[in-house]
Amino acid sequence: MNPQLPLFPESASALSGEVDLLFSIWCVISVFFSALIAGLILYFMTRYRRRHPEDVGANERAAIWLEVGWSVIPLAIMLAMFAWGTRVFFRIYRPPKDAVQFSAIGKQWMWKVQHPGGQREINTLHVPVNQPIRVTLASEDVIHSFYIPAFRVKQDAVPGRETSIWFQATKPGTYHLFCAEYCGTEHSRMIGWVIVMEPQDYENWLAGGATGKSMVASGAELFQSLACVTCHRAGNAGDTGRVARGPALEGLYNRQVKLADGRTIIADDNYIRESILTPTAKIVAGWEPVMPTFQGQVSEEQLTELIAYIRSLGPAGSAPAGGGQP
């Protein structure tokens, strides 16, 4: 809890202050209007209380200007707050480009967290301070929700799709992590801690803790072992005698892709995920639909690692052969 103001949680992220301000202004407005109504009611109750059992009130004519006034003024206030709230919302949903990539997979009843360097944790998330961090969320079973009150962020983890959340912690400390979407028996114990550390402490923690391959390295290994590389290559007819059968993936992430059916879409996480699981759903223009599916051959974690790897591929030096567009 925030020691200065026990009505608010700790304010520990780059956006939490603005969320609090937004809320506080709304509180002020609400107190004003509630007090206004309550005050008027109390005043009228006293001033106009019935003195004789047969007294009646005085009917007055309708006042259009009053009706319009008390419709338009609240509406204007609400629209202003809407605009501000939406701005904050878009910032909550748009991570900076340099955000470091973590992942969290929810399953009944725990969070499996993975660091970019491959370190894994359960129900805990160690992060460095002042670093934008993006956590991709997935679920192995039912809907969960990843909620860090101190950062004022929350996002549902929905089975069958990938969602994400981002934050930049501004104050070292230990903060609650909750599951915020009812998910069964141990929903209230699917909780943990976000531990924000100074960069040096974080490095020490990383070094001392369980190391594993980074997500990107794991993804690169999978890319080979699952034979993705046999089709998705920037090769020319020259080096192997074969033309690439699939679009090269360098620089693919977040690029526009033209599909065979004429649509143009952005190659985001969900597109990559879908292309691995259901390749025929979106065929890239100029390429044959020959990619086999990997549904049932990759786990959620392996999917996340593959996506991390593809994300990490920078723009290639050479253009792909075969005339297609990546």
Segment 263-322, which members bind another protein (CB under 8 A)?
277-280, 289-293, 295-296
Scanning 50-58, 234-242, 248-256, 308-316 for contacts with another protein by CB under 8 A, the matching segment is 50-58
Whole-angstrom distance, CA of residue 234 vs CA of residue 244: 7
Choice between 105 and 216, CB closer to another protein: 105
How many CB atoms within 10 Å of residue 27? Answer: 11
Q: How far is the CB of 77 from another protein (least distance, A)?
A: 9
Instruction: Name the CA radius of gyration of the chain, rounded.
Output: 27
**Residue 236 binding another protein, by CB under 8 A:** no
Selection from 215, 234, 169, 197 nearest residue 15 by Cα? 169
- Tell me the pairing of strands 132-139 and 100-107: parallel
Scanning 47-55, 196-204, 223-231, 304-312 for contacts with another protein by CB under 8 A, the matching segment is 47-55
Residue selected from 28, 75, 260, 266 as contacting another protein according to rule CB under 8 A? 75
Scanning 32-40, 203-211, 221-229, 241-249 for contacts with another protein by CB under 8 A, the matching segment is 32-40
Partner residues linked to 177 by β-bridges: 192
**Residue 70 binding another protein, by CB under 8 A:** yes
Q: What is the DSSP letter of 56?
A: -
Residue pair 9/143 in contact (Cβ under 8 Å)? The answer is no
Scanning 76-84, 117-125, 194-202, 302-310 for contacts with another protein by CB under 8 A, the matching segment is 76-84
Q: How far is the CB of 319 from another protein (least distance, A)?
A: 27
Angle of the 300-312 helix axis to the 269-277 helix axis, nearest 10: 120
**Residue 246 binding another protein, by CB under 8 A:** no
**Residue 105 binding another protein, by CB under 8 A:** no
Whole-angstrom distance, CA of residue 260 vs CA of residue 288: 9
Q: How far is CA 31 from the centre of its chain?
A: 32
Residue pair 38/46 in contact (Cβ under 8 Å)? The answer is no
Q: How far is the CB of 16 from another protein (least distance, A)?
A: 8
Binding mask 171-190 for another protein (x = CB under 8 A): -----x-xxxxxxxxxxxx-
**Residue 138 binding another protein, by CB under 8 A:** no
Q: In the range 189-208, which residues lie near another protein by CB under 8 A?
A: 189, 191
Whole-angstrom distance, CA of residue 300 vs CA of residue 283: 23
Q: In the range 149-168, which residues lie near another protein by CB under 8 A?
A: 149-150, 152-156, 158-161, 163
**Residue 11 binding another protein, by CB under 8 A:** no
How many CB atoms within 10 Å of residue 262? Answer: 7
